[in-house]
Structure 1
Amino acid sequence: MVVISGFVPHNRPAKPRKSKLLKQTVSPAAGSETAAAAVEPRSEVPAPEQLCLLARLPGEIRRMIFSSLDYHSLIRLSATNRFFHRTVVPQTLADPLDMVQFVLKAVNFPQHWPKEKPTKDHPGNFECYTCFRVRSPDLFDTNQARHAIIDEHGYVVKGREISPYSKVMGVFLRRFCIDCGLLTGLHAPADSLTTRTGLEFWVCKCRKLRKRPDDIQCSVCHATCPFRPRKHDMQVASKVPKALAPA
């Protein structure tokens, strides 16, 4: 078994779908210190005379400058204006080790600590080692997968997709949010999710979250809620051999 810190598997669309890679839909980060930009390009483009001197530089020179910045500086740069919010994606420019160190430091900020309230306790925010952000507890599954099976191309594969001739590898996973689990395929259709705040969801065939028990059927793919506990590929077999069964 191989241990990979910050493992980010590729995103493979579901077989019935003919569209391209799924787009990640994320909400703003829990704190301004960890608000990394990962958005789609906007249609409006400012005029050249309205841009700052750094934005007027050629793209190759800007990438050389951005490559020397740390993760925290890239986050602040992406929040400067619309141009850098659209062009600067800190997760793709920063060093992975630097992102891990920053997330470990940011999760200890006071605004992310657990809070005791008269009506309901707040468990605090958690860090995601896939998108490298500190996010709200209602975006994390309490029973997330601890390991996954990937093929030689880095795609997450399920038990039925593994053939005797395929080259697969088991990897251990760190904490990841539900959005990253849906994007990378770690949360598969028919999975039942329970957030850190007690909310219950299930995943339909179009890889969207549906609330239980309000949304029994998806209006897009017409999948129905399975109402059964989630199953992982590397889970212990339900049937125990008689030789190993307790007396």
Structure 2
Amino acid sequence: MNLREKLILVLKETHNQLKIVIINNLLECFDKNIFLPIQTISNNCFVSKSAISKFCNKLGFTGYRELVSRLKFERENYLNILDNKMEIKSYDDTKNYFINCISFFDNYKEKLLTIAELIKNDTYIVASNQLINQAKILYFYLNKKGYKVFFTEMLVANYNLDINLKNSTVLFLVGGMEVGGIFNVYHKIKYNNNIIFLTSTALSTRIDKCEVKIIFDLNNSSTSYYLRSVLVGYLIAQIINIVN
């Protein structure tokens, strides 16, 4: 469930007038693709900025800025889908695209086996907005299997790894925009830990030290969001299959 869907669900279930007015304003911002500063939102809702922040905290965000960043990200991909900016147009094109990708990913079999070994250490999963759902799936299964794995959906906390971390494995899933915080973490911890990257072609050039790097784009061009979600999900499924 994305954030917009979560807001709509809360709106349907709550009788709290404060939540109702805040959510209605946020959804209006989403629909118009105009995201207002916290002072303007608080004025529109006739509440204090601290009330807005508290509302965001209850949804699992560190504050209004993080919540708005997530909404902006969802809106960007929402528009891409509505505009039908697809790279493939037919049933057969889609089928052939995924067949080609899966065949290409066979080249990564040894790397996936290496990942399965590395995550036997204490493992920290760090994901960009675009791949956070795939990260949650991997975390869920590793945790269920008894692996010592750490992950949080709160994005700022997600990036707040101890820079003195040593002898652990850090698995980065990165794609899309808003990855500056992730790479700040990476550069601070890359020499004392095992580093794994599942990454796009564009972002792969920013990685200068790692134990494993898997690029999930089939070619040098960027993969659309909805295709990328499926491809990374397939790679995650293979990792889960190996650790089973």
TM range (shorter): under 0.3
Q: 1 or 2, which has the higher helix percentage?
A: 2
Relative contact order, higher structure (CA 8 A, sep 6+): 1
Q: TM-score under structure 2 normalisation? A: 0.23
The structure having more radius of gyration, on CA atoms, is 1
What TM-score, normalized to structure 1? 0.23
